Structure 1
Amino acid sequence: MTALTDSASFEPDADRRKRLRTVVASSLLGTTVEWYDFFLYATAASVVFDRLFFPNQSSFVGTMLSFATFAVGFVVRPIGGVVFGYFGDRIGRKKTLALSMLIMGVATTLMGVLPTTEDVGLLAPILLLLLRIAQGFALGGEWAGAVLLAVEHSPARRRGLFGSIPQVGLALGLALGTGMFALLQVIFDEEQFLSYGWRIAFLVSLVLVIVGLVVRLKVEETPAFREVSELQQRSSAPIKDVFARRHTRSTVLGLLSRWGEGAAFNTWGVFAITYATTQLKFDKVSVLLVVTVAAVVMAVLIPVSGVLVDRVGAQRMYITGIAAYGLAVFPVFALFDTGRLWLFGLGLVLVFGIVHATFYGAQGTLYASLYPTEIRYTGLSVVYQFSGIYASGVTPLILTALIAAASGSPWLACGFLVGTSTISVIATALIREDDLHLSSHRSDTEAAPD
């Protein structure tokens, strides 16, 4: 098995800089477009889909149904992860990533022309569900490939920084999605927005996808995958090898370590929008703008986390950030429940913009370290996408149900979130040095052997 080596060792400086610029642009733009598409649905589920596709339900039931179709995207992502992971480990990262972007762009664009329940009845939510399934399937193959594109091209001593670049795309995608919805609700009155204004945000995806595909097709295949191919060490059954005895520990700990991150993101980036507009009665545009600002702060700070990963290690950065999230949950909800928009904004920027950036910037490099090159695409996909079912997709549903069960009080929901943080901290701390297959610390000059 091959270890991940410094891809720049025997390359002229000018060629290396050009290649790395292309890699960074492809990873960043690609993940931004994919997450913009995916989280457009999350924002729409919070502010519009309950009325257009589930209009005959109570406010609570409509919101739950809207979030249920949101969760379906996470349920199908593991299937996409396994399928794209297989092709990513067999035919390469580049081609697989281009296909995932194309599927995502088509699904999101079609959402922008969907008829509503008023137009075609029950067929409308069924079509919405099918397109959400296509979104989830496509995103299942995106994250791992984008991380590997960056990490496997990176200089050894800047692996943490390069591994954080795809993570910036998530923050920018969320900022663009919420910002677009806020802008459209300012431009149009409520009737216009519900009639056709919301569709513009989805149709814009077509332009973004075309630009993203052009950039992504220019990037070279990663040196690590080329080496595995040349040595004929590609796995014939990557998913089987991921769950083989020698990788079971890494897989289980990876799945558990992500629980806190997935729950945190979908609390602050998705559920908080509904909580603020329904429970706290804040203006929708103001709430969307707050989430946008927090996401922009996160995008700026994620590379800082990547730089720190290169100094102290991905595992230590991830544990620190996840622990800080758990400690912040109760104080942040206390700020929310003051009923003051500026305190809501302060809390969200602190926990989402700053704390989340701390561990999210370390996540890609940490998980890439769990598997050898020949099964790395599938391994990352399994950890990130299978955990997405319980860590991400159902979190808004669980929080909505817990708050309803507590007669509107958020404290039971806060206890659940602290529990996810605790599980993640313990699981990450249990990852051993000999579980890792590449270094993310400047003091380590060589990658661990695969």
Structure 2
Amino acid sequence: MKASHHERRAVTGASAGFFIDMFDIYLPVIALAPAMAYFTPASLGDATKAILAGLIFASTLIARPIGSIIFGWLGDRIGRKKATVTAVAGAGVMTGLMALLPGYQTMGIAAVILLIILRFIGGIFLGGEYTGAVPLAMEHSARPNRGRNAGLIALGFPASYVAISVLTLLVLSFAPAGSPNSAYVQWGWRIAFAVGAIISIAFAIAYSRGIEESAAWKDAKTKRANPFKELLSGPNRRPLAQAFLLMTGVWFSSNASIVVLPPTIAKTTGLSPVQTSALLIIAFAAVAIAYPLFGILSQRIGRRAFFVLCGISSFFAIPLFVLFASGSVRSFWGTTAVVASVALLGVPAFGAIGAYMSERFPVSIRATGYGVGYSLALIIPSFYAFYMAGLSDFMPIHLTPTVLLAIGGACMILGALWGPETKNAELGANPTEAANAH
């Protein structure tokens, strides 16, 4: 079905917002990875460095449920649009402050503590980006278009990965990484954070001027006094628990197949930082092309069947990850093919998440339900580095992500089977009732 003007603008806005959200999440994984010596002493062991890097990554994720409660309440009470603008602008300020941070040589360990604190506060704000923008886009979308639109929104994730990799590759070309005193370590990494801050503020301004509030929210007869309390009571508890289980699986598989890969590429293949950035660009460009197709597939076969397939695909990613982690693949193109395959098998679920999570909650608490269900599930998987460290007592640490992939796949399958089919849900009504009616 042809999209309306408001639908196209809302979907474009949500995709841009998701781009900014994921840009922020993966800044330390890609842009900061070659410059960790700026924030840590050289005497730290590899295991401690890995845990510290995991904390930097996790700090923004564990803060997001707080943001989803705050901005979900705002989204349901004063509108999705206002909540989105406020959240993204606040996140942009936090990212800009990170770009100004002094390092270990100036402040000692306080430097990395400040980085973690700013990441945490930024996570609270970004917990409100998808809480408002994605439900708004889905409420603007015609029913047959929701799967495709969810995939277009999710495209912002691999697009951000590609953008950070391109930017990192460009900066490395004139500010090489290496010793703690190298150009990239001292100041080159700041460029990506400054860019993140600029695009966040620009997005907030453009979104406030160009996106209309959804008719579903405007026409809702009831505006809950406390949407979060409503979410935790009565018939809404089960959809929340089911969404939590499904999203826990999505995040376990995502962290194991996406977050762990970039820092280990050089160790297992011997490829340079420039080659690593180049192969990530190619691999995630393939993922970007695939996401709208995944969303369309979920509209054809149904959300339940699609997420079951996503869980199964997570298990298929395991042998490929073993092949990569064992060092059997060392060439540039071979590594690119394996990384792209693991990414495609590990995170296809994002292609339909925007539609499904919007369909699971009634309009009066949809922003809160979407935000909390999506964000609360981040917490347990975000400590992946600690699980890997614990599992290393029983197996080689480079193979421990395979356990996370298996857990992710199992949670997705169980979560999908626990919930109803929702692709035909009417987003102006109670989506569970509408879904069950079909």
Q: TM-score, normalised by structure 1?
A: 0.87
2:267 maps to 278
Matches within 5 A, 1:142-157: 142-157=129-144
How far apart in 2 are the matches of 1:400 and 1:138?
Answer: 30
1:216 maps to 207
1:390 maps to 380
1:432 maps to 420
1:81-110 Cα shifts (integer Å, max 9, x gaps): 110111011001001000111111111111
Matches within 5 A, 1:34-183: 34-44=21-31, 46-183=33-170
Residues 133 and 415 of structure 1, relative CA distance in 2, 3 Å threshold:
closer
Correspondence 1:346 to 2:337:
yes
Structure 1 position 371, deviation (Å): 0.7
Stretch of structure 1 that moved more, 393-402 or 249-258: 393-402
Structure 1 position 177, deviation (Å): 1.6
Stretch of structure 1 that moved more, 293-302 or 334-343: 334-343
Equivalent position amino acid for 2:111 in 1: A
Equivalent position amino acid for 2:240 in 1: T
**Conserved 8 A contact 2:295-2:352:** yes
Structure 2: unaligned runs, 5 residues or longer = 428-433
How far apart in 2 are the matches of 1:357 and 1:307?
Answer: 15
2:408 maps to 420
**Conserved 8 A contact 1:250-1:435:** no
Correspondence 1:366 to 2:356:
yes
Stretch of structure 1 that moved more, 50-59 or 100-109: 50-59
**Conserved 8 A contact 2:268-2:325:** no
How far apart in 2 are the matches of 1:375 and 1:294?
Answer: 37
1:240-297 Cα shifts (integer Å, max 9, x gaps): 1111131221111111111221122222322111222235543222223222222221
How far apart in 2 are the matches of 1:267 and 1:143?
Answer: 22
**Conserved 8 A contact 1:269-1:291:** no
Structure 1 position 332, deviation (Å): 3.0
Structure 1 position 401, deviation (Å): 4.7
How far apart in 2 are the matches of 1:224 and 1:419?
Answer: 37
**Conserved 8 A contact 2:321-2:402:** no
1:388-417 Cα shifts (integer Å, max 9, x gaps): 0113x112442355347534451x441342
1:41-72 Cα shifts (integer Å, max 9, x gaps): 23245332255335441222122112112212
**Conserved 8 A contact 1:241-1:247:** yes
How far apart in 2 are the matches of 1:200 and 1:80?
Answer: 26
**Conserved 8 A contact 1:72-1:132:** yes
**Conserved 8 A contact 1:403-1:413:** no
Percent identity between the aligned chains?
A: 23
Residues 370 and 435 of structure 1, relative CA distance in 2, 3 Å threshold:
farther
Stretch of structure 1 that moved more, 129-138 or 401-410: 401-410
**Conserved 8 A contact 1:111-1:128:** yes
2:277 maps to 288
Equivalent position amino acid for 1:377 in 2: A
How far apart in 2 are the matches of 1:135 and 1:289?
Answer: 28
How far apart in 2 are the matches of 1:262 and 1:101?
Answer: 22
Q: TM-score, normalised by structure 2?
A: 0.90
What SS class does the counterpart of residue 423 from structure 1 fall into? helix
How far apart in 2 are the matches of 1:435 and 1:268?
Answer: 27
Residues 375 and 408 of structure 1, relative CA distance in 2, 3 Å threshold:
closer
**Conserved 8 A contact 1:163-1:364:** yes
Equivalent position amino acid for 2:205 in 1: V
2:172 maps to 185
Residues 59 and 335 of structure 1, relative CA distance in 2, 3 Å threshold:
closer
How far apart in 1 are the matches of 2:385 and 2:283?
Answer: 19
How far apart in 2 are the matches of 1:85 and 1:27?
Answer: 15
What SS class does the counterpart of residue 235 from structure 1 fall into? coil
How far apart in 2 are the matches of 1:61 and 1:400?
Answer: 10
- Aligned length, in residue pairs: 424
1:443 maps to none
Residues 77 and 284 of structure 1, relative CA distance in 2, 3 Å threshold:
same
1:146-196 Cα shifts (integer Å, max 9, x gaps): 221210000122111122232111221122122222222222222111111
1:332 maps to 321
Structure 1 position 356, deviation (Å): 4.5
Residues 54 and 244 of structure 1, relative CA distance in 2, 3 Å threshold:
farther
Correspondence 1:28 to 2:8:
no
1:225 maps to 217
Stretch of structure 1 that moved more, 282-291 or 123-132: 282-291
Equivalent position amino acid for 1:307 in 2: I
What SS class does the counterpart of residue 29 from structure 2 fall into? helix
1:116-173 Cα shifts (integer Å, max 9, x gaps): 0101223312221221112211121112322212100001221111222321112211
How far apart in 1 are the matches of 2:77 and 2:152?
Answer: 24
**Conserved 8 A contact 1:153-1:222:** yes
How far apart in 2 are the matches of 1:161 and 1:73?
Answer: 29
How far apart in 1 are the matches of 2:38 and 2:47?
Answer: 11
What SS class does the counterpart of residue 223 from structure 2 fall into? coil
**Conserved 8 A contact 1:175-1:296:** yes
1:316-361 Cα shifts (integer Å, max 9, x gaps): 2122122112222123322442041333321111121x33463211
Equivalent position amino acid for 1:197 in 2: G
1:298 maps to 287
How far apart in 2 are the matches of 1:27 and 1:153?
Answer: 11
Matches within 5 A, 1:196-275: 196-217=187-208, 218-228=210-220, 231=221, 233-275=222-264
2:431 maps to none
How far apart in 1 are the matches of 2:150 and 2:401?
Answer: 32
